[in-house]
């Protein structure tokens, strides 16, 4: 590859190949927090000790929740941070939590660092929600001012009604939908344009694109566009959703409003709430690029448009999400229904379980 490519700091190539700053672990001096470090899934924090990723002098970290329809296991990294060999042991205050390895040894050369998995046996776990405490003990002290690492693992032992079929299931506080996996399609009341939905494999960062054909079709409305229907089942209590407001993010492929008289549009409805019609590309005058096109988190860098809508959450149970594409140039990839569990990431949450 002839183009300079080592040392990117923004979208343009570096002017010369330049390695980023390198750091080495000091192996001649013991860490202030002792000889053992612990980190958990989705966190950059390390305990015991202080860093910018968790509360000052706290020895506790929170592990993402587990439930029967999503992740039932979460990883924990245990590694050497000191100069001494050390024996470690992990225990739980709940008999239904099991570990891939519950004890071991660490040496300072880094060859014995280990990732273990904590798994919840939901057949033995109590119904409902709870928190399990995990303790990781060391055969040596935790430095001069820190204590034994403690991890909080929350579980949600939810049960799906047996009569719920053909839809998505909430897991980890969200529902992530791949657009092509709709539950059903409601034909348009008037289909004079003879449009239909077509799957374009691979036209997505995750699975596929879904669009209207033919591409020469006119602009549509709720009476002339077929509706995509997604059945959803949620477990989150209404009190856990701030303001009873759900955020729904639609992810579409990068594009522009090539015809200013026909901006790309879609319509969205949850249950029987009012339909929201959304123009997700906001053009600017004088030929300037639309809002959100450029920048490190813009549409180009993300290879996607993100469009957000707010709806009212009425509580756990069955829900129906409807989506209408109103311009044939629009390609939708996925939708994220956030009940408080969507975390920042490039690709977004993986697809939720469905039946």
Helices (H) and strands (E) in the chain, counts: 1, 21
pLDDT tens, residue order, the chain (355 aa)? 689 999 988 878 999 999 988 877 777 888 899 999 999 999 999 999 999 999 888 899 999 999 999 999 999 999 999 899 999 999 999 999 999 999 999 998 889 999 999 999 999 999 999 999 999 999 999 988 899 999 999 999 999 999 999 999 999 999 999 999 999 999 999 988 899 999 999 999 999 999 999 999 999 999 999 999 999 999 999 998 989 999 999 999 999 999 989 999 999 999 999 999 999 999 999 889 999 998 888 999 899 999 999 999 999 999 999 999 999 999 999 999 999 999 999 999 999 999 9
Q: What angle do CA 14, 301, 207 make, to 5 degrees?
A: 130
Encoded tokens for 227: 């509706």
* Structural domains of the chain sorted by starting position, each given as residue range(s) with its CATH number in brackets: 36-157 (2.60.40.10), 168-338 (2.60.120.1620)
Q: Cα separation of 101 and 80, whole Å?
A: 17
CA distances from 114 to 35, 75, 103, 300 (A): 14, 10, 11, 38
Q: Cα separation of 182 and 24, whole Å?
A: 50
Which residues have C-beta within 8 Å of that of residue 103, sequence separation ≥ 6?
Answer: 87, 88, 89, 90
Give me the count of residues in the chain. Answer: 355
Contact 23, 35 (CB under 8 A): no
pLDDT on residue 223: 95
């Amino acid at each position: 590859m002839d183009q300079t490519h080592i040392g990117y700091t923004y979208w343009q190539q570096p002017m010369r190949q330049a390695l980023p700053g390198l750091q080495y672990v000091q192996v001649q001096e013991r860490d202030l927090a002792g000889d053992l470090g612990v980190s958990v899934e989705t966190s950059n924090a390390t305990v015991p000790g202080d860093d910018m990723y968790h509360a000052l002098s706290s020895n506790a970290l929170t592990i993402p929740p587990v439930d029967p329809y999503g992740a039932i296991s979460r990883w924990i990294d245990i590694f050497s941070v000191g100069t001494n060999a050390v024996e470690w042991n992990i225990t739980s205050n709940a008999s239904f939590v099991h570990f891939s390895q519950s004890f071991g040894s660490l040496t300072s050369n880094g060859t014995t660092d280990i990732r273990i998995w904590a798994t919840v046996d939901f057949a033995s776990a109590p119904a409902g929600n709870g928190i399990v405490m995990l303790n990781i003990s060391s055969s040596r002290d935790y430095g001069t001012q820190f204590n034994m690492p403690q991890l909080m693992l929350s579980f949600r032992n939810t049960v799906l009604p047996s009569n719920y079929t053909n839809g998505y299931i909430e897991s980890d506080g969200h529902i992530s939908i791949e657009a092509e996996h709709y539950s059903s399609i409601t034909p348009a009341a008037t289909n004079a344009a003879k449009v239909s939905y077509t799957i374009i494999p691979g036209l997505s960062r995750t699975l596929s694109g879904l669009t209207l054909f033919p591409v020469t079709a006119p602009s549509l409305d709720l009476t002339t566009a077929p509706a995509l229907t997604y059945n959803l089942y949620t477990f989150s209590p209404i009190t856990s959703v701030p303001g009873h407001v759900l955020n729904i993010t639609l992810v579409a492929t990068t594009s522009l409003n090539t015809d200013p008289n026909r901006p790309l549009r879609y319509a969205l409805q949850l249950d029987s709430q009012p339909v929201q019609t959304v123009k997700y590309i906001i053009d600017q005058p004088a030929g300037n690029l639309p809002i959100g096109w450029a920048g490190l988190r813009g549409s180009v860098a993300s290879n996607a448009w993100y469009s957000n809508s707010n709806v009212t959450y009425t509580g756990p149970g069955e829900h129906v999400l409807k989506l209408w594409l109103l311009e044939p140039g629009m390609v939708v990839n996925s939708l994220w229904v956030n009940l408080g569990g969507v975390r920042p990431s490039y690709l977004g949450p993986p697809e939720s379980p469905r039946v």
